[in-house]
Amino acid sequence: MKGTIFMTDSTSTPSDEAAQNAALQKAVIVGMQLDQDRHVIDEAVRYARLLGAPLVVAHVDVTRFVTYEDPDGYVHSAPIDINFDAGAAEFEAVEAAAAKLLEGTDVTWTARQLVGDPALAIKQLATKLDAQLIVVGTRKRGIGESIREFFTGSVAARLAHRQHRSVLVVPLGESVPDEQKEIWPE
């Protein structure tokens, strides 16, 4: 079936989620953030077409954490910050951006809100869906991102080392020339 499917975890019940997961088996998962380079989702669409698979746009709310998971896989979470609406608003913005970027494609897709550590959350979703491929973008250049990656590690590297699925890492739209010694501007 070709077309567009809109489903989110924010209003799903455990039985709804099980039915949705069954329809998304062997999907291509793309990690998406606000203001992400379009090239990342374009590559995910290309591979979803090549594999004849649905596309799952996954956004991870790092301001929430998993409190427990039911035996049927339904995840309960709690906010780190009292401002719960911020994460929901960000997911809505990501979902709207994905809808705009995917408009006119013949790829069946859905958006999922995940919580917690990005690499672990995407890995868990990939396991649930028996995903064929995970697509992520490279991080933004900058000293802040370098410090964050130093402490938490690269999401792409952590995904590549902690599960058996292929991970496609899509470079930023602008590459750093070979002759440039400093990768991150000051």
Q: Can you give the pLDDT at residue 106?
A: 92
Q: Which residue has the tokens 């380079």?
A: 37
Q: Can you give the pLDDT at residue 15?
A: 66
Structure tokens at 114: 């995940």
- For 100-151, the DSSP string reads HHHTT----EEEEEEES-HHHHHHHHHHHHT-SEEEEEPPPPSHHHHHHHHH
Question: Helix (H, G, I), strand (E, B), or coil: what is residue 59?
Answer: strand
* 34 domain residue, yes or no: yes
pLDDT digits (tens, 9 = 90+) for 52-98: 999 999 999 877 665 556 565 555 555 555 555 656 788 999 999 99
Domain of 116, CATH number, reads 3.40.50.620
Residue 35 backbone zone (phi > 0: left; psi -120 to 50: alpha; other: beta): left
* 176 domain residue, yes or no: no
* 117 domain residue, yes or no: yes
* 17 domain residue, yes or no: yes
* 150 domain residue, yes or no: yes
Range 103-117 average pLDDT = 91
Count the domains in the chain: 1
Whether the per-residue pLDDT at 18 is higher than 70: the answer is yes
* 67 domain residue, yes or no: yes
* 175 domain residue, yes or no: no
Q: Can you give the pLDDT at residue 150?
A: 47
* 179 domain residue, yes or no: no
Residue of higher predicted confidence among 9 and 95: 95
Whether the per-residue pLDDT at 39 is higher than 80: the answer is yes
Name the pTM for this structure. Answer: 0.75
Residue of higher predicted confidence among 171 and 75: 171
Question: Helix (H, G, I), strand (E, B), or coil: what is residue 38?
Answer: helix
Range(s) of the domain holding residue 165: 9-170
